[in-house]
Structure 1
């Protein structure tokens, strides 16, 4: 079995400066620092095994980011030529995790809206013996009224906190 040759990484001066800033930055998230360091090591001629050993990383992790950079290097170079002001953001995006689909939504927008509407009503209007809603009481009432089959107090709290949106604002 023949070992596959790792992709050769070549960086422009601007790309190297941006990656070095990420690598040395005191406020750079650790995952970006690590990935920038991998690319810089690869551009300096280190192989994946050396990079992994030098940075105490898994070789597959090094291979993944080296290949990702190699795959997107042409697009990064094109951005550098055509829109140099966007180079830093492009490099940041290249070294960032890809979007994941995440867990599917469990409650419909209509159910969330009905729970929020219920929260705006007085419990006394429902002939309940308390003056205000707590998330737990609201959850039990939503189940009782058939808005949802079942819901946790935490889910109700989250809907109230973020105004019904099922994904928090960024």
Structure 2
């Protein structure tokens, strides 16, 4: 028997334009693009059977989306909300968790845990955890920080960064510091090697066998290092290291040394020696600003690649091991390139100071 009469699909110019766009756009969901093509075919006069065959879907699907469009127009082509469990955590609940996290502590504890916050708000621990993750809150974590109070902070930053980014001609820039109190420590049991599915393992306890100090001067242009171990850390050792640098660097080069404000760098004996050796120029980093001395970056390499996972039964063994590592480094040195200008550093610090001022802490 003949099919029942169906209402024709008549599109306005705006609807046809929107549907055509939906059907062609790559980022439109495939389901929406298919429904748009069904409606466009129906609007062009095709029967339900013809449209189903042309688009490659069932007659029931064509009939469903044709009817939905006639009833609700463009809005009818979107998926209807699916039934599910109603939301149990309101915006006010979320605000309560965030406010408590940022503005209070749980009794005598120093910070909230998911358990204590769940108890205080009546939520589950998983709900508290989801809220904290969504807003990037980590009450359990803490980081250290310190701002320099050096009255000449700006001038010193500009001086040191200027050396890094535009070194003087016919001169060598050296970042100098001491890694003091390097411990020769041995584990109470042998370190177990890496195995499939098992990382290397070592005991948490150790035996100390003495300490040494490593004086190092990092050449910013090449990345090579002048280094020497000393058992003590006084101005006498610093003077001996300056003499070592003087002997190692060609006499026709000026020497610009970036140093921290340690007292041994400024004793009368050191100043007298510097007067007699005018090619040495000392540039001091601001107080509490070790991050500005590039040799600290090299010390981090030494720690991560050699010291952290090694064991030594004597100071002599430690010094020999570190010396061998430095010799290998100097065979193929890697310079550290400073990229931030003094203005960028100062702008970042100014913005941070403004943030902590606005937070009223």
Normalising by the smaller structure, the TM-score range is 0.5 to 0.7
Deviations 1:3-33 (Å, cap 9, x if unpaired)? 5444321334554344223322334332332
Deviations 1:135-169 (Å, cap 9, x if unpaired)? xx2x3112333x215241543335635xxxxxxxx
Aligned pair in 2 of structure 1 residues 143, 53: CA closer, same or farther (>3 Å)? same
Hey, what does 1:119 align to over in structure 2? Answer: 101
Instruction: Judge conservation of contact 1:22–1:36 (CA < 8 Å) in 2.
Output: yes
Q: 1:148 aligns with which of 122, 133, 154?
A: 122
Aligned pair in 2 of structure 1 residues 28, 4: CA closer, same or farther (>3 Å)? same
SS across alignment from 1:126: coil
Aligned pair in 2 of structure 1 residues 159, 23: CA closer, same or farther (>3 Å)? closer
Shift of 1:63: 1.7
Alpha-carbon distance in 2 for matches of 1:19, 1:108: 37
Deviations 1:110-132 (Å, cap 9, x if unpaired)? 53333222211465x6333xx65
Hey, what does 2:55 align to over in structure 1? Answer: 55
Which segment is superposed worse, 147-156 or 97-106?
Answer: 97-106
Counterparts in 2 of 1:95-110, with a 5 A limit? 95-98=77-80, 103-110=85-92
SS across alignment from 2:135: helix
Aligned-CA RMSD value: 3.5
Aligned pair in 2 of structure 1 residues 6, 150: CA closer, same or farther (>3 Å)? same
Hey, what does 1:44 align to over in structure 2? Answer: 44
Larger % of strand: which?
Answer: 2
Shift of 1:94: 4.4
Larger % of helix: which?
Answer: 1
Could you tell me which runs of 5 or more consecutive residues in structure 1 were left unpaired when the two chains were aligned: 74-90, 162-170
Hey, what does 2:67 align to over in structure 1? Answer: 67
Could you tell me which runs of 5 or more consecutive residues in structure 2 were left unpaired when the two chains were aligned: 137-361
TM-score normalised by structure 2 residue count: 0.31
Alpha-carbon distance in 1 for matches of 2:12, 2:47: 19
Alpha-carbon distance in 1 for matches of 2:20, 2:92: 49
Deviations 1:43-94 (Å, cap 9, x if unpaired)? 2232333333433334333222101222246xxxxxxxxxxxxxxxxx4x34
Larger radius of gyration: 2
Alpha-carbon distance in 2 for matches of 1:113, 1:16: 44
Aligned length: 136
Instruction: Judge conservation of contact 1:9–1:42 (CA < 8 Å) in 2.
Output: yes
Shift of 1:41: 1.1
